Amino acid sequence: MTSNRPKYVFDATPLIYLAKTSLLEAALESCEAFATETVIKETTENTDYPDAVIIRDSIEKGLLKIHSPGNEAKMKALSRHPEIHLGEAETLASAEELKATAIIDDKEARAVAELYNIPTRPGTLYILFRLTATDRLDAPTAEEKLDQMINAGLYLDPRTLVAAKRKLREHQTPPKKEDASKNVP
């Protein structure tokens, strides 16, 4: 039996900012979620951070599974790209192996993925919009969570931030209904 839930391999940044804003569990419950050993180490190594504890708890609950990429040739090819680091290379290789989508914020990593036909989505924002679109999060709360992410250190260029907020506001505005009096003969 196959699941109707999408399959995602998360890179570090989305895991960290979803955890910082208490959205990680909702995000992981809505999909089959994986991360690599390197990403898990990167996100949980410092036990002083609450987000590290939340990520570890997600693993213990079985919401986030660890996957180690087995295709050494693919890892070698991806590692030749100096614009991405080991965690991103592993995330992309794992996404390809698992026939999943890589959830990754880094533009350069997504560009490298495109060279290898590995599906990606723009990480943290994609998951935030998905939670809103699936009614797991209302738009005003999503905008608050986005502000919290920015305040916690998530970098979005000004154009992307304005576009994201506009998209969230459009989602919360109900569509205009046609004036019924116009249809009266």
| Residue 127 within any structural domain of the chain | yes
Cα distance between residue 99 and residue 119, in whole Å: 9
- pLDDT given for residue 181 in this prediction: 41
CA–CA separation, 125 vs 131, rounded Å? 10
CA-to-CA distance for 153 and 49, rounded, in angstroms? 14
Q: What is the pLDDT along the chain (185 residues), one digit of tens a residue?
A: 456 889 999 999 999 999 999 999 999 999 999 999 999 999 998 767 899 999 999 999 999 999 999 999 999 999 999 999 999 999 999 999 999 999 999 999 999 999 999 999 998 999 999 999 999 999 999 999 999 999 999 999 999 999 999 999 887 755 555 544 444 33
In a domain, 168, yes or no: no
| CATH number of the domain encompassing residue 62 | 3.40.50.1010
First-last CA distance in the chain: 55
Contact 59, 29 (CB under 8 A): no
Strand positions, DSSP E, 54-121: 64-66, 101-103, 120-121
User: Closest Cα partner for 87 from 133, 57, 48, 45?
Assistant: 45
pLDDT of residue 166: 93
Query: Would 82 be classed as within a structural domain?
Result: yes
Q: Which helix (H) or strand (E) holds 10?
A: strand 7-10
| Percentages of the chain per state (helix, strand, coil), in multiples of 5 | 60, 10, 35
Residue 27's domain comprises 7-137
160 within domain boundaries: no
Q: Is residue 66 part of a domain?
A: yes
34 located within any domain: yes
Q: What is the pTM of this model?
A: 0.88
The sheet with strand 64-66 has its strands ordered as: 64-66, 32-35, 7-10, 101-103, 120-121
Q: Which amino acid does the sequence have at 138?
A: D
> Is position 156 within any domain?
no
Q: Are 66 and 59 in contact (CB under 8 A)?
A: yes
* Angle of CA points 61, 65, 69, to nearest 5°: 165
- Indicate whether 16 belongs to any domain: yes
pLDDT at 171: 77
Number of domains in the chain: 1
Supply 41's token pair: 């180490």
